[in-house]
A and B are shown apart, each in its own frame.
Chain A
Amino acid sequence: MDVYQGVNNLITKKEVEHVAKLARLELSEEEKERFTVQFSNILDYFNQLSEVNTENVEPMTQAIPMVNVMREDKVQLPYTRDEILANAPLEEDGFFKVPRITE
C-alpha cells in the first residue's frame, strides 16, 4: 500500500509517472511520492471549478480580443550561423548535435 497517497486520491503515483514522462521529466522515488500528495491537494482545489455553471459560456482564450494580426511576406537579413549556434550545448560542422534518437 502506498502510505503517502494524498487524502483525496485524485491522482495516483502511476499517473504522476505518466505525466512526468509526457513532460520529459525524471522524478526520484521521493519526488514521485511528494508530488502525488501535492497534486492531489492542488487538483482537489481546482475541482471547485466544477461548481460553476458554465453552460453556453464561450471559453475565453484572449485577454484582449483581437483578430487578423499579420505581417507582409518579406524576408529580413538572416542571423549568421555563428550567432544561432553560439548557445548550442553541442555542435558539429554547423549542425546542432544530439544523442542517438530512439523512437
Chain B
Amino acid sequence: MLDTKHCFKTVKDLRKALLNREISAVELVDESYKRIEEIEDKVESFISLTKDLAYKTAKEVDKRIKIKDDLPLLAGIPIAIKDNMCTKGFHTTAGSKILENFVPPYNSTVARKLEENFIPIIGKANLDEFAMGSSTENSAFKKTKNPWNLNMVAGGSSGGSATAVCSGESVISLGSDTGGSIRLPASFCGIVGMKPTYGRVSRFGLIAYASSLDQIGPMGRCVEDVALTLQAISGYDNMDSTSINMPVPDYTATLKKDIKDLRIGVISEMLGEGTNPEVKQAILNSIKVYESLGAKIEEISIPHSQYAIATYYVIAMAEASANLARFDGVKYGYRAKNTENIMEMYLKSRSEGFGEEVKSRIMIGTYALSSGYYDAYYKKAQQVRALIKKDFDKAWEKVDLLLSPVCPTTAFELGAKISDPLSMYLMDIGTITANLAGLPGISVPCGFDSKGLPVGLQLLGPALSEETLLRSAYNFEQATDFHTKHPEI
C-alpha cells in the first residue's frame, strides 16, 4: 500500500530524497496519484490526469539518477498545470465545452520547458472557463472547492492549480494571471503564488484570455519552491513577440539575504472601508513583521487604482472578444450538429460551446470595440491604464515594493457571487493593477480569519524585480509559520 508521506514536502527535501534514492521519481508520481485518489472527489482540482506523460518523465529521471547524471533542480518533482496551457498530444480544454475534445499538436513553451527540466506533469488543473472568473465556479466541467473549507470557493481563475498544491496532490503548479488569477486563489488557499513581469514567461501555447494582460506564473507551498519553479519557466522565447529578451537571474541565490533598509509602501487605498477587518488586521500584523525585519514602511497612494476594475474589465473583455472569435466550429473544437448554413453553425456552436460568463464578456467586449463606442470605452481605458502605470512609476521613486492585501476578503461561499458578476469583479481590486501596469506580484500566506480561512499578503514591485519580491516574501515566510499549516480534508 502506497502512502502519501512525501506529499507536503518541499522541493528541496524531495530532491534530497530522490538523489539519496530514498524514493524514486516514479514513486513520487505514484504518491501524487494516490493523494489525488483520496481527495480529488472533494476538492476537484483536475480536469484531466496526464499519467502517461508523468510516468514517462519520471522514468527518465530515475534512469538518469541511476547513472548519476546531472539533473535540473526540479527534475522528478510532480507539477500540475492549468488546463489553458497546451500539452502536445494531451487534451487541453481551457475549462470550456467548446474545447472538450481538443488535443493540441504542439506544446506551449512552458510545457516544453517542463519537459526539458524533466518535471513530471501529473494533470491539467481546473479553471474558470478561459480563465474568466475569480472563483473557479465557471468551469464547464467542475467546481473546485477550497481545501480549507469545502463549502468555500478556491478563488480563481487558477483554482485547480491552487488546490492541487494546497491539498498535496502536487508539489508545485502553474497558473495564469490576467487579473489576479494566480494570486487570488493562492491567497484563498493559503499558498504562495507569483505573477511575474509581463513577458518574463512566454505566453506561447497559453490559450489567450486578454493578450496584453495574461502572464503565466508559479504556485507552491513555500517561497523557495516558487522561486525554483519560476527559474525553470522564465526566459526569452522567439515564439512570443512580447517576451522579454533579458537574462534570467538566479532567483534562489539571493533569497536568504536580509531586507534591512528595504522601503515598503503600503497602498493606502487598499486598507479602506471595503476591506474586511480581519483581513486588515492580518495585513497590519504583517507590516509589523516587516518592520521587525528592518524594512522602512510608508504609506503610498495609487490614486487611479479606484478606476482599475473598470479599466481592467474593458480592456480584458475587448481583447477576449477578439481572442475567442476563433472558436467557431470550423477547424477544431465543438461544432453544433445539423446546421443549415454557416451563420447557423457559428451561432449554435458558439452559443452551445461557451458558458454564460464567457458569452457575457465576449458581448461586452464586442460592444466596447464597436463603432461609436471605441473611444468612450476601449481607448479611454487604455488612457487610464497609462495613468495607473504612471502612479506606479511615481511610487517607485519612493519605495522598493508595495504591500497590500491580495483581496479585501477571504474565500466566500460557493454560489455566493455567481449571479452577480459585478460583485465578483470587485474581488480583483487588489490584484489587477499589477496586470494593467505589467508588474510582478506575489501572494504569501499571512494569517487566518476567525473561520479558519487563509489571508494572503500581496507584494508588488517594479518590472523585473522578481528577485526582490521573492527575497522579501521569503524573509516574511521565515519569520512566520502560516506556510507550515495544511488543511485537513
Indicate yes or no for A touching B, C-beta below 8 A.
Answer: yes
Question: Residues on A close to B: CB < 8 A?
Answer: 11, 15-16, 19-20, 22-27, 31, 35, 38-39, 41-43, 45-46, 48-52, 54, 57-64, 66, 69, 71, 79, 83-84, 86-90, 96, 98-102
Interface centre among A45, A57, A89, A102, by most B CB within 10 Å? A89
Q: How far is the CA of A50 from the CA of B373 in the complex (A)?
A: 12
Residue ID in chain A nearest B438 by CB atoms:
A63
Given A26-B350, A69-B242, output 13 extra A-B contacts at Cβ < 8 Å: A23-B362, A26-B348, A35-B360, A42-B364, A52-B307, A57-B387, A62-B212, A63-B213, A63-B242, A64-B463, A89-B335, A96-B330, A100-B341
Q: How far is the CA of A38 from the CA of B357 in the complex (A)?
A: 11
Q: How far is the CA of A59 from the CA of B388 in the complex (A)?
A: 11
Of the A-B pairs whose beta carbons lie under 8 Å apart in the complex, a sample of 11, sorted by A's number, is A22-B366, A23-B350, A38-B360, A45-B309, A49-B377, A52-B304, A59-B382, A60-B382, A63-B435, A69-B241, A87-B105
Report yes or no: A63 in contact with B366, Cβ–Cβ below 8 A.
no
Distance to closest chain B CB from A38 (angstroms): 6
Report yes or no: A101 in contact with B341, Cβ–Cβ below 8 A.
yes
Distance to closest chain B CB from A6 (angstroms): 12
Report yes or no: A25 in contact with B354, Cβ–Cβ below 8 A.
yes
Residue ID in chain B nearest A102 by CB atoms:
B341
Residue ID in chain B nearest A56 by CB atoms:
B383
Report yes or no: B370 in contact with A22, Cβ–Cβ below 8 A.
yes
When A52-B307, A57-B386 are in contact, do A45 and B105 touch as well, CB less than 8 Å?
Answer: no
Q: Which residues of chain A are near B103, meaning CB under 8 Å? A: 86-87
Report yes or no: A23 in contact with B307, Cβ–Cβ below 8 A.
no
Q: Which residues of chain B are near A42, meaning CB under 8 Å? A: 313, 364, 421-422
Q: Which residues of chain B are near A20, meaning CB under 8 Å? A: 363
B244 at the interface (CB under 8 A from A): yes
Distance to closest chain A CB from B462 (angstroms): 11
Report yes or no: A58 in contact with B383, Cβ–Cβ below 8 A.
yes
Pick from B242, B244, B351, B384: contact of A49, CB under 8 Å? B384
Report yes or no: A16 in contact with B363, Cβ–Cβ below 8 A.
yes
Report yes or no: A89 in contact with B332, Cβ–Cβ below 8 A.
yes
Q: Which residues of chain B are near A31, meaning CB under 8 Å? A: 359
B199 at the interface (CB under 8 A from A): yes
Sort A-B residue pairs by CB-CB distance and give the 7 closest, nearest first.
Answer: A63-B438, A59-B382, A87-B332, A63-B198, A89-B335, A54-B383, A60-B386
Q: Which residues of chain B are near A46, meaning CB under 8 Å? A: 310, 313-314, 368, 377
B380 at the interface (CB under 8 A from A): yes
B8 at the interface (CB under 8 A from A): no
Pick from A11, A35, A63: contact of B212, CB under 8 Å? A63
B interface majority secondary structure: helix
Q: How far is the CA of A48 from the CA of B381 in the complex (A)?
A: 11
Q: How far is the CA of A92 from the CA of B438 in the complex (A)?
A: 45
B331 at the interface (CB under 8 A from A): yes
Interface size class of B (residues with CB under 8 A): 35 or more
Report yes or no: B105 in contact with A98, Cβ–Cβ below 8 A.
no
Q: How far is the CA of A62 from the CA of B95 in the complex (A)?
A: 27
Distance to closest chain B CB from A77 (angstroms): 13
Q: How far is the CA of A87 from the CA of B348 in the complex (A)?
A: 19
Residue ID in chain A nearest B368 by CB atoms:
A46
Report yes or no: B363 in contact with A59, Cβ–Cβ below 8 A.
no
Report yes or no: A11 in contact with B383, Cβ–Cβ below 8 A.
no
Q: Which residues of chain B are near A49, meaning CB under 8 Å? A: 307, 310-311, 314, 377, 380-381, 384
Residue ID in chain B nearest A60 by CB atoms:
B386
Distance to closest chain B CB from A31 (angstroms): 8
Q: Which residues of chain A are near B212, meaning CB under 8 Å? A: 61-63
Distance to closest chain A CB from B219 (angstroms): 21
Distance to closest chain A CB from B449 (angstroms): 28
Q: Which residues of chain B are near A87, meaning CB under 8 Å? A: 101-103, 105, 331-333
Q: Which residues of chain B are near A83, meaning CB under 8 Å? A: 105
Q: How far is the CA of A99 from the CA of B213 in the complex (A)?
A: 36
Interface centre among A22, A26, A58, by most B CB within 10 Å? A26
When A35-B363, A102-B343 are in contact, do A96 and B331 touch as well, CB less than 8 Å?
Answer: yes
Residue ID in chain A nearest B362 by CB atoms:
A23
Residue ID in chain B nearest A80 by CB atoms:
B105
Distance to closest chain A CB from B18 (angstroms): 35
Q: How far is the CA of A9 from the CA of B62 in the complex (A)?
A: 64
Interface centre among A52, A83, A88, by most B CB within 10 Å? A52
